[in-house]
Structure 1
Amino acid sequence: MSNLERDPIELVCPPEHSQAAVIQVLTPRDVPLGGPRAMNVRRTLPQRGRTTIGAWCFADHYGPDDVAASGGMVVPPHPHTGLQTVSWLFEGEIEHHDSTGSAEFVRPGAVNLMTAGRGIAHSEVSTPTTSRLHGVQLWVALPDAARGVAPFFEHAETEPVEVDDAVVRVFTGALPGVGAEASVTLFSPLVGAQIELPAGGEAWIELDPAFEHGLLVDRGPVTATVAALESELDDAPADSDPLTVAGHTSHLAWSELGYLAPGHEGVRLRADPHSPARIVLIGGIPFGEELVMWWNFIGRNHDEIAEFRRQWQADVIARGDGDGRFGTVSGFDGPPLPAPELPTVRLKPRS
């Protein structure tokens, strides 16, 4: 998905060093994708309070959206650099085309992962049979060693796995204690999973304590209780529940994201007695590189971003030859998306 804001903020994202013992609750901001009948998304990452969770650097949560009222998703060909896009749907269907020649449908239960690497262009359009559109669009920042790779596209089905009362689908990486691992290519240690609970249900989800994690609530509310590492529980009786000895509980409402710093071995999720719950869990090793994010580009400094924009405007928008960095997208009826104007000043890193 493209960032269709007319005046996108240039974000310089320093490496994050979080300490921490409680669940930080992040609330999204509404962003319209397009004109007056735009489909609105709830953008949770990046924001002032947190720019990354592992290498996850962008999270749009949208729907359930009545396509008849909003017009659905119509995102013309647009560029990306230095990232991977991860498309995950709860309802509806989206048609994807990109400049590597890939053409695929995004459907619930399957993940579409597109690696932009040195540069790619793609389009996304909800299909005519879609009446409700509902899902998340996620971006992963590529580490410096991998951001120049040739672009490619992957599609993978996922398998449901029962964990206590929950049904879990792992769509990137692997989740400890769950016998499922996504088959898509990653360039840094990551996990992404959908967790569904019936009304009143609960599940203990094991976590990698080296990861930081985010819990995005698609259907809720949800109560989350985290446990610290066993080393913090040495003085507790052997038969004690770790959550009663060293833990923190937070109540997460619909569309909120709960952030967990590294150092937790698990989280207990409980659905409201009157409502089922659905959570998207993302996580990874804290990302130790400084990023500059602007529009649909990720680079390492302002000059790189300016050069990506120049090439997109010159090769694709002005000439339309598609022979440069980003190539040509077939399968979309309409012109590509021009880049917004760059800021007139260099922005400093946010604290």
Structure 2
Amino acid sequence: MPPNARRATLADIAQVAGVSVATVSKVVNGRGDVAAQTRARVQELLYQHDYLAPVFRHTDALESPIIEVQFQGCVKSYVAQTLEGIIDSAAESGASVVISKASRGPNWARDLVSAGRRALIVVTSVYTAAHLKELARAGLPLVVLDPLHLPDSRVHSVGATNFSGGLAATRHLLSLGHRRVAYLGGPAMAVCNQARMHGYRAAMEAEGARVPEAYVRPGEFTYETGLLGASLLLDLAEPPTAIFTGNDEIALGVIEAARARGLRVPEDLSVVGFDDTDLARMASPPLTTVRQPLREMGGAALRTALRLVNGDKVESHHVELATELVVRASTAPPRGRDLTT
């Protein structure tokens, strides 16, 4: 739209759609008492005419801005803890939060605007250039929590120091005397997984410990990856005496795979996780893991979204919060001190 062009009004949209202004207002505000066919027609016209709800055309913040939080997959412990941080921070800030699973049909960003959303936080979800374009067109700020891809300059994101976490976890195992240390991680192309794996490799290289190709295995951030990956690692002619995993779920799968083979953790196999979710404390034995400040990350994402809503300057497009190694009972020196390099 040219800079000086007049923006469409509710009356303009109503006239073209052949409905009342009240009906268009109901669609814009997400009311349910509008026929599906009429709603679709009005939404299409709103999109075609680049209509933005008044809340997006004024700088005055609402008393209670509404932030949409979307995630993919099941509500696992990792997601639950980040959501707790978002919700707690929203309560402190006087904001409202709507939580949903990612569903991006036609005009999805425009629909969020029409429903009164002021910003979007994405958790463990994938976004594309097309998604960014539609969000920009709708005027909807985006914050990505723990991005799976390298942060785009147009995207504000919050993550953790994954490389440092991988370094600390592997150094811990090496300090116990392990030299045959494997890494069992998540998706190969996920930025967080790559950073954790590179931290592992850096620690191994600094110690002069050998990393056979079979010792580094990508997968998914799931219990099943731990079961399958550990089975393959433990079947090697020279199996690892310690496994550093990409998250706590994978670690629990590793512990079960070891138990099924009659191996004890940590006497026969040391295991380290990542995240420090509730699962780590409930594991048997309690899991040594890298603490990712999940609640704090959720809070930081919410505060960033509110700053964008209010038009405040955000100093950095990507913020990383510090990780911390938490030592529990799943790690110990290897039997007979594993000095093999």
**TM-score, with structure 1 as normaliser:** 0.27
**TM-score, with structure 2 as normaliser:** 0.27
- Higher relative contact order (Cα pairs below 8 Å, separated by 6+ residues): 1
Report which of the two has the higher share of helix: 2
